[in-house]
Structure 1
Amino acid sequence: MISRSVKWAAGAGLALAGLAGGAGTAYGVGDVLEIPALETDLAAESLLLDVEHIGDRLVAVGERGHIVYSDDGGRNWTQADVPVSTTLTGVDFPEGNSQHGWAVGHSGVILHTSDGGETWNHQYDGREGIPALVSHYEKRIESKEAEIEAAEDEDRVADLEWELEDLVYTRDILQEDLDSFGPWQPMLDVWFRDAEYGIAIGAYNLIYRTQNGGETWQPISGRIDNPNRFHLNEITQVEGGDLYIAGESGFIYRSTDDGSSWESIEPGYPGSFFGVVGTGDGGVLAYGLRGNIYRSGNGEEWTAVDSGSDRTLNAGDVNDSGEVVIVANDGAVVYSDDGGQSFSEYVRPARHSYVGVTLIPDDSLVLVGERGAVRTDRRGKGQEADAPTAELE
């Protein structure tokens, strides 16, 4: 059984064991960032962690640097040319752009494609990103010390000193991890507004922004009120333009200005959220552990919705008709045809867990998870078995 938490937990466990590359691969962090993904007929049948639908093409990413794409609705897959062999956790193409896309993964890696996902280039990774984040915190520490020096009210000074202590602690932890284990912290998801502007997020409050198509990335962790460094699991844009980040320990973060600033939201459930999806009618759904779904019409007030499931909900998608599909552990697929007002659950007989899903126009779903990619009908039933054939070129 897997869950969306494998995106960060696997990276942490493997790095601490000195095996940051993936199960059974005795490579260090630097190795998996330099060794290209191995070509294999099993790429589309191995662990896949995210899938993106762009135009007539599907692109999925997963373990060992595997990226596969399909031009026939997920019936056959071709393995892409990828320069790393670390686990990849998220993929995104800007709306209306079928050529430029980005993928992220363990060791803070960020990849870019300019040919629709057929070949990928390395843009960034934790070897640059974590030192940049340490510098980011050092600048914040200097700024906070100046605030303390200028403050006159004793209560204000006490508050600022508490904030300074948090900043120093975070900087020191980042530096100690870097010195002991290398830049193992995983990126978990990525979103791009267009071919220039994008945001990548990850475990332990990692969040970076680019304004030049990924040529350079800047840490912006200080823009989110997340002093406990909870994981940032997924980023998505909903109808109307608001950005949401699904976070750990009951937190969601919303931005109304493309990520320049963020507000913290607590829908009412103390467990982790793994994703947010719009409902097509202006509503928003947040989903996560133990089948929990919360719905909001405006992002301010949230109400629990019965998902019909007690399994961890990992990924979701919505179409223009208001159909919502969320996939879960143990082969569960929860479906709504009323914009997320109500759901029904179907459990696939093989009970393989899924961590990615996309609705495609032929009334099918493509699910990805522990056994790769599979096509089903809208409710997760039937069609191809959980073992498609990869077609390599």
Structure 2
Amino acid sequence: MNSDHAVLSEKAASSLLLDITRAGDGLRLVAVGDRGHILISDNNGYDWRQVSVPSRQMLTAVSFPSATTGFAVGHDAVILKSTDGGDSWVKVYDDLDAEVPLLDIMMMDEQTGFAVGAYGYIVRTEDGGETWDDWFDMIENEDEFHYNAITQIGDGTLLLAGEAGLLYRSLDGGETWEFLESPYEGSFFGIIPSSDPGSAIVFGLRGNAFQTVDAGESWVEVDTGTDQTLFGAVHIDGNGQVIVGSSGTLFEMSDPEPQIHTRSDRATLLSASKAPDNSLVVVGETGVHRMPVGKPAVATLSEQ
């Protein structure tokens, strides 16, 4: 890595980053964020390099259904695609007239998936991102509340969560959607599948989190031990999850009992991923950080 590129990557790695993921089951970590930054690490999050991107729009979410194929979404409804593990990207969709941000993307495989965002914006692809169909009228959302998160759980059910406690599910791969009775009227910002096929945890404002074990038929409150807003989550070894949020909050839901940690800098955390060496890599308002699960003391990128 030349010196100029190293300086650029270090600056980008300490800027606002909104999402991070593993590239399929591979070794690579990919993070996205402000100004269209996309960063890649191939050594467990110790070092990062910035790749060229055909957009300067803020990127909010990234999804890699395989080690080579990935999608990133952001403001102005932009959707980017990579077919080489994130080394290069092309723009496959945008909607400047809509003036809405896409807030999440979920790819069920390399061909089929959904991107969702503000004001009830939702599009679907069935051809690997070559075309995107408007799915707005397929979901009952008269108030055009924001869609913040979408995922597929173990039994194949799709779950969609958003503003004002909105919850929906699809049992047919997204062809049709049904409104679910919500346990909470505040906004949800994330969903993560649990270990059982029909289970998932949805989370959001003021530390509120709820778990379903029957694909959304019913929800039980999860005691997170915090009133900080929760934004992102990742699976850890065993059947546990770590959910991250504002003020440096990390809620570890694992046996034998849940734990709550707070980063010393109290910087907001927006997403997390597990590195191949089982360390936790988190991103947020101060960039990217590595930390071992279960230990709140964390070294920043520049300190490692």
Is the shorter-chain TM-score for this pair beyond 0.5, marking a shared fold?
A: yes
- Is contact 1:267–1:294 with CA below 8 Å preserved after alignment? no
1:40 Cα offset (Å): 5.2
Identity across the alignment (%): 42
- Is contact 1:333–1:379 with CA below 8 Å preserved after alignment? no
* Structure 1 runs, 4 residues or longer, greater than 3 Å off: 386-389
Give the superposed CA RMSD.
Answer: 1.7
Q: Distance in 2 between matches of 1:257 and 1:204?
A: 24
Matched, 1:47 2:13: no
Q: Distance in 1 between matches of 2:127 and 2:295?
A: 39
Matched, 1:126 2:95: yes
- Is contact 1:317–1:358 with CA below 8 Å preserved after alignment? yes
* Structure 1, unpaired ranges of 5+: 1-38, 128-181
Q: Distance in 1 between matches of 2:110 and 2:230?
A: 30
The structure 1 residue matched to 2:202, chosen from 286, 297, 306, is 286
Give the aligned partner of residue 233 of structure 2.
Answer: 316
**Structure (1/2) with the larger helix percentage:** 1
Alignment of 1:139-178 (within 5 A): none
Q: Distance in 2 between matches of 1:214 and 1:205?
A: 20
**Greater RCO (CA < 8 Å, at least 6 residues apart):** 1
- Is contact 1:371–1:387 with CA below 8 Å preserved after alignment? no
Give the aligned partner of residue 109 of structure 1.
Answer: 78
Give the aligned partner of residue 247 of structure 2.
Answer: 330
Q: Distance in 1 between matches of 2:298 and 2:228?
A: 23
Give the aligned partner of residue 47 of structure 2.
Answer: 76
Q: Distance in 2 between matches of 1:256 and 1:269?
A: 22
Q: Distance in 2 between matches of 1:188 and 1:388?
A: 31
Give the aligned partner of residue 277 of structure 2.
Answer: 362
The structure 2 residue matched to 1:300, chosen from 208, 217, 226, is 217
Structure 1 or 2, whichever has the larger Rg, is: 1
1:110 Cα offset (Å): 0.4
1:359 Cα offset (Å): 2.2
Q: Distance in 1 between matches of 2:188 and 2:17?
A: 20
Secondary structure of the residue aligned to 2:164 is: coil
* Structure 2, unpaired ranges of 5+: 1-7
What per-residue deviation string (whole Å, max 9, x for no partner) do you get for residues 149-198 of structure 1? xxxxxxxxxxxxxxxxxxxxxxxxxxxxxxxxx43211111111122112
Give the aligned partner of residue 69 of structure 2.
Answer: 100
Q: Distance in 1 between matches of 2:257 and 2:167?
A: 22
Judged with a 3 Å threshold, the aligned counterparts in structure 2 of structure 1 residues 87 and 369 are, in CA distance, closer, same or farther, namely: same
Alignment of 1:365-384 (within 5 A): 365-379=280-294, 381-384=296-299
Task: Give the TM-score taking structure 1 as reference length.
Answer: 0.72
Counterpart residue identity of residue 200, structure 1: A
